[in-house]
Amino acid sequence: FAYYPYGDQEVRAEVEPAVSRASSTTCTETKTCPAPMYFLDDVYLGKYSNIPGIKAATTEEEDFGLDAYEPRFMQPLHIWKAEGEFSVKLRFDTADYTKDLFYFCQIHEFMGGRIKITRDGAPHSWIDNPSLGYEYDQPSEFDTECGTYGLANFQLPNSNCPDRFVCDKEDAPEGYRKFAQCIDAIDCHMISGMTTGSSAMSEDALFVHQMIPHHQNAVNMAKALLKTEKLECDDIRDQSNPECVLTELLYEIINNQNHQIQTMYDYLDAKRFPYEDDCVVEVETVP
């Protein structure tokens, strides 16, 4: 949790025992500021507390369980799911702080949201403060149907792409045809993105400019298959079920390759390469 969007990616403002954004408090000196408390199967993983009903309130303690909680999620999904039920509790008892909090992911930029602090069931403030700093992306109608993002302008026919990527779909069941149309657009998006210029005249820039749309293709394809709800997996821990194995693989593709895309954009920024270097190559379809 954080006092501002992005948490520690921008400024040191996570919700921790020695961090506060209230106007009048000494909690930073005694390490008694509000902080989340992390649990596994209702067992508290830390030492700090400001919830006496769980553990006597503490001073000079900064361990609120995150260091024992967070690394577990670096394991494969079926392994950490087997460990038990994960949960977090937060008692925010700083009365003179009336702004919002945020939840965020440390490795996926813009993956987070706003938390309204309530008292007696009502928010401290109905105003969204601090501001988010950006607008939420709105998927197109086509993307909403596919479970993807950024494909509205890449539906076939498209002058940058062949007239099909999936063949012999015309007589297939409706659900398959719709999924195939999504795949056609996903692949057209990648093909369009992988026709790149050479303005940087640099091998590493060319690699990154080519690899980003390649990764975006994988992410969109994984999300599109999940959207179909065709995979039958009641318990992701059941590794004897091949559809559970594939489901886990899809989530790994989404999480890992999105992080890699972010890393590659950071590389372009650090090396002062252009964010993208597109060139238009029209495809002539042969009858």
Do both 155 and 262 map to the same domain? Answer: yes
pLDDT at 13: 85
On whether the CB atoms of residues 54 and 89 are closer than 8 A, the answer is: yes
- Establish if 2 belongs to a structural domain: no
Place of tokens 């106007």: 23
Does 6 have pLDDT greater than 80?
no
Domain's final residue, options 123, 151, 184 = 123
pLDDT at 213: 97
pLDDT at 96: 83
What is the Cα–Cα distance from 111 to 136, expressed in whole angstroms? 10
> How many percent of the chain have pLDDT more than 70?
96
Residue 272 phi/psi, 5-degree rounding, is 60, 35
pLDDT at 119: 82
pTM, rounded to two decimals: 0.87
On whether the CB atoms of residues 224 and 148 are closer than 8 A, the answer is: yes
Do both 52 and 109 map to the same domain? Answer: yes
What is the Cα–Cα distance from 144 to 152, expressed in whole angstroms? 10
pLDDT at 246: 98
pLDDT at 268: 96
**More confident call, 133 vs 38:** 38
pLDDT at 253: 98
pLDDT average, residue stretch 264-268: 96
Do both 185 and 249 map to the same domain? Answer: yes
Do both 164 and 204 map to the same domain? Answer: yes
Read off the tokens for 23.
Answer: 């106007």
Average confidence score pLDDT of the chain: 92
Domain count, the chain: 2
> How many percent of the chain have pLDDT more than 90?
76
Does 12 have pLDDT greater than 90?
no
pLDDT classification of 26: cutoffs 50, 70, 90: confident
What is the Cα–Cα distance from 91 to 228, expressed in whole angstroms? 39
Q: Using one digit for the tens of pLDDT, what is the confidence trace for 36-52?
A: 999 999 999 999 999 99
What is the Cα–Cα distance from 253 to 260, expressed in whole angstroms? 10
Enclosing domain of residue 229: 141-270
Do both 146 and 111 map to the same domain? Answer: no
Do both 156 and 260 map to the same domain? Answer: yes
What is the Cα–Cα distance from 256 to 22, expressed in whole angstroms? 36
